[in-house]
Amino acid sequence: MATNISYTVKFFASLRQTAGTDTATVTLPEGSTIAALLAALADLHPELELDRRPVYAAVNAAYVTPTYVLQPGDQVAIFPPVSGGSISWRDMR
């Protein structure tokens, strides 16, 4: 009997524009991962085509991976790749 927890998810840039809103509320069982949250968002906002595009996620203003386990009170954001330039610049010293 898992407890359900609600998270507010912020959208940015093209995701915000496509969704027509800058936030969504997702309710998930306790102990859910970011991957589960993304799957729930894909159902809630099919127009975002979240399963077909690169997407980054942050919790409490830091990047997270899909296996991150959500904690009550986490501030979640999802967004497209940032507007980087075209130069690749690897590990310079």
Partner 1 sequence: MTSDRKLYEITDQPLSLDDVASRVTRPDCGAITTFAGVVRGETATNEGVRDTDFLEYEAYTEMAERLMAQIGDEIRQKWPKVAEVSILHRIGRLEIGEPSVVIAVSTPHRGDGCFEACRYAIERLKAIVPIWKQENWSDGQVWIEGPRQPELDLRAPSETTSDS
85 lines the binding site for partner 1 (CB under 8 A): yes
Pick between residue 1 and residue 89 the one whose CB is nearest to partner 1: 89
Binding residue (CB under 8 A) for partner 1 from 13, 21, 27, 69 = 13
Instruction: Measure the CA–CA gap between 70 and 37, rounded to whole angstroms.
Output: 9
Helices and strands, counts by H and E, the chain: 2, 5
Distance, C-alpha 60 to centroid of its chain = 11
User: How far is residue 38's CA from residue 12's CA, in Å, rounded to a whole number?
Assistant: 15
Among 1, 2, 25, 92, which residue interacts with partner 1 (rule: CB under 8 A)? 92
Secondary structure of residue 34 in the 3-state scheme: helix
Contact call for residue 72 and partner 1 (CB under 8 A): no
Interacting residues with partner 1 (CB under 8 A)? 10, 12-14, 16-17, 34-35, 38, 51, 53-58, 61-63, 65-66, 77, 79-89, 92-93
